[in-house]
Each structure stands twice: as C-alpha cells, then as structure tokens.
Amino acid sequence: MAMTPKIRSELNATPVEADGIKYFDISDPKSGGRMRLYDFEWLVAAKMDGARRFDEVATWAQDALGIHPTAEDLAEFARRLRDLGFFQIDADFKDDVTPLPQPVPSAMASSAGEDVEVNVEAEPEPSPALKLAPSPAMDDGPTLPQGRPAMPDSPPPAPLPRAVTPPTARLGSPPSSSTDRLPAAPDEPPRKSGGGSMIVLLVLLLLGGGGLAYFKFLAPPQSQKVTVQVVSPREVVTLYDGAGTVTQGNAQALSFGEAGKVVDVVAKGTAVTAGQAVASLEAFGKIEKDLADVKDRLGFYEKQLTAAKAKGDDAKTKEAEAKVNEKKTLLATLEARAAKVRLVAASSGTVTDVMVTQGGDAKAGAPAIKIADNRLTVSFKLKPDEIGAIKPGSPMTMQPAAGGATIAGRFTRADGDSAVVELLDDATTVKAGDQLRLVKAKVPNVVPVPLSALVKRDGADTVFVLSDGEAKAHKVTVVDRTSGEALISSGLAAGDSVITSGTDSLQDGQKATTN
C-alpha cells in the first residue's frame, strides 16, 4: 500500500471557530499565502507524514473522527492538496493510485450513516464574512505548530462557497479497543464541520471542478519581471523645494549731504568695489585730519584708563573715562560729517553717470554720481522655521536648477517668507535670469534609490534586492527623502541590485528576473 506524502513542516495551522463550526487557517510563511480548511480536512492532512500508509490514516480517521474514507479516497485527497502546495514533493509519493470512480451523491450520503446530512447546493452562495476566533485546543490536533496568528499585513482569506453544509451530528469517541498509537480526537467538540462520507464528497467535488472554493493560496508566486538599480554609495546634495531667479541690483544715485567745492571725482565707466570713495568735497581734507587727531587722542586716554583701573586709583579712573567718552563723541560727529562730504560705493558696480566736475560746486542732496549695482541676489521661498534657523551673513550654497557645480553665496536678510542670498564675487558663471536652487545639506556615503523601490514591511522601511534570481527583503535606514528619491544610510552594500519596480506585490524569496 502506498505511503502518504509528507506535509510541509513550515506551514502554520491556527484553529478557529466561526458560527459554531471549527476550521483551521493554514498559512505559508514563505509565500504569505493563506487558506481555510474544515477541521477534519486539516487533521487528516496533518497525519500524512510520509511514514504512514494511506490505509493507516483511513483507519485513524474512522476511529478518531468518525468518518469513513478509503485509502484510495485519501490518496486522491492528497493529490489535490499536493497541487495546492501542502506537501513536500519527493520520489516517495507517486501518482500510482487509481482514482475512485465518481460515486453518485445518494450513494455518498448513505455511506455516512443516518445521523449525517449532506447537502450539495445547485448554485453555491457566498458565506458571510468569517469572523476568526480561537477555538478550544484539540487533544488530537496536527503535529505542526498551532495558535500562531495570521500575518497582519495579509488580507483575510476569501470566504468559502457553501458547497457543503456541515452536519450537526455529534462525533463518536474512538473505540476503547483501538490499538492505534495516534492520539484520539476530543470526546465532545462543540460543533464539528463534517463527518461520515464528507472526505468522499470532497474528492468528488474536486474531481468535478465543483463547489468547494479551493484556491491555490499556498502555491508559490510566479516569477516576476522587475527593473533594478545597482547600489553605489556616494555623497548626495539635498536641496530645498523650489528655485529662485538671479536678479541684479538697481542703479544707485549718490549725493553729498553738504554743499561745497568738488576736489576729486571718478570718471564715467569706472568699475568700483564696495567701500571705495568715488567723490569728495574740499571740506573732507580738514575733517580727515581731525579724525586722525581724535583717534590718536582716544587711544592715549584708553591706555590711561587701563592703567588707572589696574592701580585701583578711582580718581584717575574717572578722569580717564571722561576723556575717553569725550573723544568717542567727537569721533562719531566727525565720521558723520565725513559721510556727507565724501561719496562711497555701497557695492561693486560700474559708474554710469557723473553729474559734478572736479573744481566745480556741488549742491546738497543733488545727484552727483550714478553707479550700476553689479551684485547678484536670489530670493528663495522657505518655511518660517527654516528662515529663522539662518543667521545673517551665514555662508550659503546654491546649485543650478538643471544641475552642475555648486555656487557660493551669503545670506543677507529675510524678506517676508523669502531668504535673500547674495552671490559672492567669484560667481562668474552666473548671470541675471538664471534659476538656482538652495542646498539644504551634503549627505556623505548614502545610497539614493527611487521612492518606487521603498515599501513598508512589518512597519519597517524595506527594499528588495535581486540575488540569485530571487527578491530578498532588506530592512533599511532612510535618512532623508526628496520628491523622487529616498536616501539610505544602512541596509545595503555596494553592488547590490535594488529592485525599483513592482515592489508592492513582491514577497521575500519570490523568483524574479530583470526586464
């Protein structure tokens, strides 16, 4: 007599009860597939361990479960479960058992005894959604692990059509004289899903392609076509959202604060830099000499103040402090007047107009010189907290919107919701009208992958790596995200082939090939 096939040891069987009927939910940790079986179906399947003969399992089923399959019935049942992926496939299980002829329903119903009712409906109706709840432990459960919950990210199993209405008959206890070493079934389960000839009926329905909704939930997923990207860690520049347009400063008109005789002035077309003097009145000469004298005396009295404090001489300290304050006040007055009689360029630029002449008179407040501002600035719209984190004068880095080498600048001021950045003088490759983006950070030694490669598995960021024809799940650490990429700092190695397409449906260990 043929030996049974061997049930897959990694399958998980969880007992459940719904509407008073007992089932087992079978899950495959490798493929993620799930399937619900009546309890007697799984209990019989679990006894097929590759070491028992079909007639031994048939005897056990009669004694323990009160059903009456033949060895041939169970062989056909095993073939169907094998096709669904329940068994290890080896040379010991051969298709050498002749299938049963198709019995008629009346013959099958009578074989169960008078206390079993079997109803084959003409058009199966979907059963209501199955609410899973743990059932009482069975003394004669399967030898595989039980009680493990279904995978949280898997959808619930599809409801089974009610091709078989399970009888409500009470199952008898096994005979006390039985010498079978297999454990006996419980004396009185709350309500059984089957009995009598239901194994025979199951085989008939499977042969006819009928009622029971056996789907190949446990069959391994087919190979999937994917695209990949080879991992190459590198430094990545992250950018703020949006871009800014480079603008050039407006022309400035400079005028004297006092009237007087012009003693020197630059020529039209002269290139000037920030802080450079461009015109002076005659009064500036004397003010300049007075400024030098006041600065010299201020230095003298500051030294006296330091010495008096060191000696603890309060009188000398007060006298020196008074002189220091006097000279500082005079210095500020002279510097303010100097600004009125000498014109200084506020930024780099080019003199475009000269409205005064050397030796001529200048009027207070009248335009004397116009300078075209050569400064280039860019305004970037940022969030308030982002602008608040930047200090005036802080160095900033930009990059052309189309990509390329970075450009240096400095933050000058906040203008509403915009950060105004001035380009440094060495930014010779940039001109007004160019589009720039503001650099947020430079992140070293990370792997940029498309967002399509990143999925969630068990609450963790995960990517799949194609290795030896299989998709292998790798948990990764994401340090930053852009609109199109995720930056991964750990979980991948140089040379890994990261799968970038079809990741939502991929399963760990699934076969995959590149397009």
For residue 138, the number of C-alpha atoms closer than 13 Å in the C-beta half-sphere is 33
Give the C-alpha distances (Å, rounded to integers) separating 66 from 56, 190, 342, 398.
14, 15, 115, 80
Tens of pLDDT, residues 299-332: 999 999 999 999 999 999 999 999 999 999 999 9
As a three-state string, the secondary structure of 376-402 is EEEEEECCHHHHHCCCCCCEEEEEECC
Question: Residue 221's pLDDT is what?
Answer: 57
pLDDT at position 59 is 92
What is the arithmetic mean of pLDDT over 276-298?
Answer: 95
Tokens of 511: 């076969």
pLDDT-based confidence at residue 40 (cuts at 50, 70, 90): confident
* H helices, E strands: number in the chain: 8, 29
User: CA-to-CA distance for 368 and 258, rounded, in angstroms?
Assistant: 12
User: Which residue, chain included where needed, has tokens 């209501």?
Assistant: 128
Q: Round to whole Å and give the CA distance between 74 and 80.
A: 10
Q: Which pLDDT score is estimated for 22?
A: 86
Could you give the C-alpha distances from 492 to 231, 463, 466, in angstroms and in order? 7, 9, 12
Structure tokens at 267: 């020529």
Per residue in 179-230, pLDDT tens? 333 333 344 343 444 443 444 445 444 444 333 333 344 445 568 889 999 9
| 181 Cβ contact partners less than 8 Å away, ≥ 6 residues apart | none
DSSP state of 200: H
Torsion angle defined by CA atoms of residues 68, 71, 73 and 79, in that order, rounded to the nearest 10 degrees: 140
Task: Determine the pLDDT at residue 366.
Answer: 95
Average pLDDT on 468-472 reads 92
- As a whole number of angstroms, the distance between CA 421 and CA 24 comes to 67
| Residue 499 host element (H or E) | strand 497-499
Give the orientation angle of helix 39-46 with respect to helix 198-207, to 10 degrees: 90
Q: Of the segments 26-35, 92-101, 114-123, 333-342, which one has the largest average pLDDT value?
A: 333-342
Laid out side by side, the sheet with 361-362 consists of 342-344, 277-281, 260-265, 361-362
pLDDT exceeds 70 at position 386: yes
Contact (Cβ atoms closer than 8 angstroms) between residue 498 and residue 228 = yes
pLDDT band of 481, cuts 50, 70, 90: confident
| pLDDT for 90 | 59
**Would the pLDDT of 413 be above 90?**
no
Higher pLDDT pick, 382 / 173: 382
Distance CA 504, CA 508 (A): 11
How far apart are alpha carbons 493 and 36 in whole angstroms?
40
Please tell me the distance from the alpha carbon of residue 464 to that of residue 471, in angstroms, as a whole number. Answer: 6
Name the residue with tokens 């495959």. Answer: 28
Q: Which of 415, 419, 361 lies closest to 390 in space, CA to CA?
A: 419
Q: In terms of pLDDT, which residue wins out, 197 or 56?
A: 56
Tens digits of per-residue pLDDT, 105-147?
322 233 333 333 333 333 333 333 222 223 333 334 333 333 3
Tell which residue, 377, 382, 391, 352, has the closest CA to residue 427.
377
Q: Give the whole-angstrom CA distance, residue 378 versus residue 409.
A: 9
Rounded percentage of the chain residues whose pLDDT exceeds 90: 41
| 90-104, 343-357, 397-411, range with the lowest pLDDT | 90-104
Which pLDDT score is estimated for 1? 67
The full length of the chain comes to 515
Between 353 and 427, residue with greater pLDDT: 353
Average pLDDT for residues 265-270, to the nearest whole number? 93
Give the pTM: 0.38
Which pLDDT value is given to residue 27? 85
> Which residue has better confidence, 382 or 274?
382
Mean pLDDT of 371-387: 88
Convert 75-139 into a string of H (helix), E (strand) and C (coil). Answer: HHHHHHHHHCCCEECCCCCCCCCCCCCCCCHHHHHHHCCCCCCCCECCCCCECCCCCCCECCCCC
Q: What is the pLDDT of residue 287?
A: 95
Q: Scanning the structure block, which residue is given the tokens 């454990």?
A: 183
- pLDDT digits over 217-263, tens only? 444 556 888 999 998 898 888 888 889 999 988 788 999 999 999 99
Over residues 137-174, the pLDDT tens digits come to 333 433 333 333 333 333 333 333 333 333 322 222 23
Its sign, for the CA torsion 135, 139, 141, 145, is positive
Mean pLDDT score of the chain, rounded to an integer?
A: 76
* Residue in the structure block whose two tokens are 């399992």: 57
Decide which of 213 and 421 is more confident.
Answer: 421
Containing 43, the helix (H) or strand (E) segment is helix 39-46
pLDDT at residue 23 above 80? yes
